[in-house]
Amino acid sequence: MKKMHVDSVLKSYNNRQILSDVFISCEKGEIIGLLGRNGIGKSTLLKIIFGSIKAENKFVKVDNKYIKGIFYNRNLIKYLPQNNFLPNHIKIKTIIKLFCDKKNATIISNNHLIKQFLDKKSNQLSGGEKRIIEIFLIVLSNAKYILIDEPFNGVAPIHKEEIKKLIIEQSENKGFIITDHDYRNILDIATRTVIIYDGGTKEIKNNEELIQYGYIPE
């Protein structure tokens, strides 16, 4: 079966084990919600899958291709980091053309959330406005699997719903792994939920299990 398969991830910092024998998988059509307390290793895991940081051990496979590092990811995996990545002194319409193929660039440029910013430079936008553009660039890329770290940070509540709708629409042809500090945003759209707990991953079936693992209060 075609899917992204991640297994046997080991990562430590300063002799402290962060991730130990992590397993997570994602198929086209799935939105995997990745939960866990702050500092537990969610962002680290996404970066390891993408290949932007190294691990002591990892196994990442997309369909039948073994992903050794970031240079093996072309059109397979895209990653939205927590921090803004748009270059400061380039107009948004130019960034879109550089980042996307013609079809997706047209879709993004015509979206009512983006249109108003096309002639502005990134450094003229707020953090939330930049975030909206970055989400569209990553979600509407040609990659098969999309990793998204804190997509709703700084985004106005009314726009969060449109972003959720976009992700759900795009999940028809892609697989997503998404983490956010507000678990309710994740549970709204996730088809499966996974929590990082005690260095490993556990699949969550209901909110009672989130209480059991100490992620939310009773």
CA–CA distance, 90 with 166 (Å, rounded to integer): 25
Mean pLDDT computed over every residue of the chain: 92
**Token reading at 187:** 């549970």
What percent of the chain is predicted at pLDDT more than 70? 100
Check if the beta carbon of residue 53 is closer than 8 Å to that of residue 47: yes
Q: Write down the pLDDT at residue 72.
A: 80
pLDDT of res. 38: 87
Residue 155 lies in a domain: yes
Residue at token pair 């024998």:
21
Cβ burial 16-44 (10 Å sphere, 16+ → b, else e): eebbbebebbbebebbbbbbbeeebbbbb
Q: What is the mean pLDDT of residues 32-38?
A: 93
Res 154: pLDDT: 87
pLDDT of 130-173, one tens digit each?
A: 999 999 999 999 999 999 999 998 899 999 999 999 999 999 99
Between 127-139 and 157-170, two packed helices, what is the crossing angle to 10 degrees?
10
CATH code for position 38? 3.40.50.300
Most confident option among 19-23, 37-41, 107-111, 182-186? 107-111
Q: Are 91 and 121 in contact (CB under 8 A)?
A: yes
Q: Does residue 218 sit within a domain?
A: no
- Domain assignment present for 45: yes
Within-domain flag for 108: yes
The backbone torsions φ and ψ at residue 182, rounded to the nearest 5 degrees and listed phi first, read: -100, 100
Does residue 217 belong to any structural domain of this protein? no
* Cα torsion 202, 205, 210, 212: sign: negative
Q: Which pLDDT does position 1 carry in this prediction? A: 63
For residue 189, what pLDDT band results from cuts at 50, 70 and 90? very high
Predicted local distance difference test score (pLDDT) of residue 216: 83
The arithmetic mean of pLDDT across residues 68-89, rounded, is 89
- What the block records as the tokens of 195 is 């929590």
CB 149 within 8 A of CB 179: yes
Give domain status of residue 137, yes or no.
Answer: yes
Q: How far is CA 107 from CA 17, 136, 182, 204, in A?
A: 43, 9, 29, 35
Nearest to 86 by CA among 48, 46, 114: 114
The whole-number pLDDT of residue 130 equals 94
122: alpha, beta or left? (left if phi > 0; alpha if psi -120 to 50): alpha
User: What pLDDT, in 10s, does the model give residues 97-137?
Assistant: 999 999 999 999 999 999 999 999 999 999 999 999 999 99
Structural domain contains residue 17: yes
pTM (two decimals): 0.94
Average pLDDT over residues 43-54: 94
Q: What DSSP designation does 34 have?
A: E
| pLDDT on residue 94 | 96
> What average pLDDT does the segment 21-36 reach?
94
| Domain residue limits at 56 | 4-212
Considering its fold, how many domains does the chain have in total? 1
